[in-house]
Amino acid sequence: MDAVIQGFTLLIEPFNIFLIFVAVLIGVCVGALPGLSSPMAIALLLPFSLSLEPIPAIAMMSALYCAGTFGGSITAILINAPGAPPAVATAFDGYPMAKRGEAGRALGLAAVSSVTGGIFSLVIFLFLAPVLAKVALKFRPQEYFALAVFALSMLASISGSSSIRNLISGAFGVLIGTVGVHITTGVERFTFNTPELVEGINFIPVLIGLFAVGELLNQSQGLDKVLERITAVVVKLPSVKEFVKMKGTILRSSCLGTFIGILPAEGATVAALMGYNEAKRFSKNKEDFGSGAPEGIVGPEAANNAATGGAMVPTLALGIPGSATTALILAALIMHGFRPGPYLVRETPHIVYAIFGAMILANFMFLIIGLTGAKLFSRITLVPRQFLWPAVFVFSMVGSYAFASSLFDVWTMLVAGVVGFIMKRHGFGPAPLVMGLILGKLVEENLSRAMIIYDNNWLRFFESPIVDFFLLLTLLSLFWPLISKIWKRT
């Protein structure tokens, strides 16, 4: 209880509340702008967060994460252009509802269901994270190795249309993570006699390049795209009767979104699509889906925001990111000197409760901001991209240099941007690469430690039931498409 009070006391300082409010505004704006995303905004914010104290810095990023997930629904409903990937499913029924003159009702449904799903998952996060951390304290290097390998196998479904491409992208991220001196042997790898590479490639410039510059190059191909706009918007909250009528859909999607968020490497996009599918499956009016069904908005919105709280559970309790965005928050925790995982929950629990409080505040803030300013935020899309993207590029340059005052990092960012652009053109998502970069270090470090413990006898790994369990899950994750095909044929 003392940790809860300490965490909330640290959070409710006026300056921290102000930063959370600013983060929510930025998150909603970034979410509403097609092409921009929460990971991109957090990647740009990372170097500048070093000038802040740890609590406001992490709270700001957590709040931006929640608000950015919701912000995409505004443009998905009003102009049929999802501002964020999780809002893709919302557009299926949100835009048809807006076209028939019910844009305000659609926005109200999206806002209320998002907040409900978000708060539900945060309550689960509050109770589940300490329990999971206690279990994780019993983990040895070999168990962490098996868990990280399982998380890598989940990259197949994190983004994009091809599981193979996602796994290749993740493997490339793991390869980048091996650059530098090996922690146990002291051998230099892939440094090419370049002093700047001896300590490895800084992940901040890589993240900025992949998410910001890569998207800049990608968006430059469609500068003249014109979007159809719904202009008359007065947000209307759903009535109590309507809310009660859809309580089953909201609860089901919230549970589903929280569960999907907890799974390593899944995240809000997968949760939203599954929330939409399940809403349609249980609906009595399946024929209305695609033409403006309220459940088609409530289902994905409750699920995608529930995934934000769920994704924080493995991030904080195990040190395994639950999504691409939480991978960046994990990086921020490391930058500020914290040890993500069970020791974070045990040694500095007030940090966990401060993050929980920031996300709760963010949910209520974006509810108010979304309801009162939806029409204003929809007009953000009028900002000419010819002005918007040069500004993003300048922030990318400054942020990459500010991290370590190194021009080498700027070049790293530019190279990562070109790589990210080429990857996207060929169907390789940047998110699996980021997850591979972070998880790869966990795999290598824990494998090295476990091999020392077992005197290089890797067969002894299988003496642990936990290792066997996670390796079995890994095999099922990798071969499930093949297994399901065989199952259908029989």
With CA atoms as reference, report the closest residue to 475 among 144, 140, 154, 143: 154
Bigger pLDDT: 158 vs 33 = 33
pLDDT of residue 343: 78
Q: Which residue type sits at 430?
A: P
In one-letter notation, the amino acid at residue 276 is Y
How far apart CA 483 and CA 471 sit, in angstroms, is 16
176: how many CB neighbours lie within 10 A of its CB?
19
Alpha helices (runs of H) in 79-97, residue ranges in sequence order: 88-97
Query: Does 217 score more than 60 pLDDT?
Result: yes
Q: Given this model, what pLDDT does residue 324 score?
A: 75
Specify the pTM. Answer: 0.73
Q: Is 176 within 8 Å of 209 (Cβ atoms)?
A: no
Q: What is the pLDDT of residues 36-75, one digit of tens each?
A: 677 778 888 888 888 888 888 888 888 888 888 787 787 7
Cα dihedral value 278, 131, 363, 87, nearest 10: -30
- Percentage of the chain surpassing pLDDT 70? 87
Of all residues in the chain, the percent with pLDDT exceeding 90 is 2
Q: Which pLDDT value is given to residue 330?
A: 86
Question: What is the Cα 452 distance to its own chain's centre?
Answer: 34
Distance CA 325, CA 261 (A): 11
Token match 């040694």: residue?
347
Beta strand residue intervals within 33-158, DSSP E: none
What the block records as the tokens of 337 is: 């000197």
Question: Is residue 189 within a helix (H) or strand (E), and if so which, with residue range?
Answer: strand 188-189
Confidence of residue 374 (pLDDT cuts 50, 70, 90): low
Q: Is the pLDDT of residue 380 over 80?
A: no
**CA nearest to 89, candidates 344, 275, 330:** 275
Give the DSSP letter string of 364-390: HHHHHHHHHHHHHHHGGGGS-HHHHHH
Q: Which residues pair with 188 in a beta bridge?
A: 181
Residue 267 CA to residue 326 CA, distance in Å, equals 9
The pLDDT of residue 407 is above 60: yes
pLDDT at 229: 52
Phi, then psi, of 189 in degrees rounded to 5: -130, 130
Which pLDDT belongs to residue 158? Answer: 57
Mean pLDDT of 252-272: 78
Of the candidates 98, 97, 91, 35, the one whose C-alpha atom is nearest the C-alpha of residue 68 is 35
Least confident of 132-146, 150-164, 408-422: 150-164
Sign, CA dihedral 169-171-176-177, equals positive
d(CA 128, CA 2): 18
Q: What pLDDT, on the 0 to 100 scale, is given for residue 415?
A: 92
- pLDDT of residue 34 exceeding 50, the answer is yes
181 DSSP β-pair partners: 188
What is the residue-averaged pLDDT of the chain?
80
Closest CA to 154 of 266, 312, 272: 266
For 376-383, what is the mean pLDDT?
60
Confidence bin at 232 (pLDDT 50/70/90)? very low
Sole residue written with tokens 């090996």:
182
Give the whole-angstrom CA distance, residue 281 versus residue 263.
23
Residue 288 has pLDDT above 60, yes or no: yes
Q: What is the pLDDT of residues 427-471, one digit of tens each?
A: 887 778 877 887 788 888 888 888 888 888 888 888 888 889 888
For tokens 């279990």, the residue is 135
pLDDT band at residue 82 under the 50/70/90 scheme: low
* pLDDT tier at 274, thresholds 50, 70, 90: confident
Asked if residue 414 has pLDDT above 80, the reply is yes
Range with the lowest mean pLDDT among 93-107, 292-306, 367-381?
Answer: 367-381
What whole-number distance in Å separates Cα of residue 226 and Cα of residue 242?
A: 35
Closest CA to 65 of 34, 90, 88, 42: 42
pLDDT at 218: 77
Average the pLDDT over 325-332 and give the result. Answer: 84
Helix (H) or strand (E) segment spanning residue 180: strand 180-181
- ∠ CA 347-348-350 to the nearest 5 degrees? 145
Nearest to 73 by CA among 134, 114, 42, 125: 114
Q: Examine the pLDDT at 139 and tell me if it is beyond 50.
A: yes
Q: What's the pLDDT at 259? A: 84
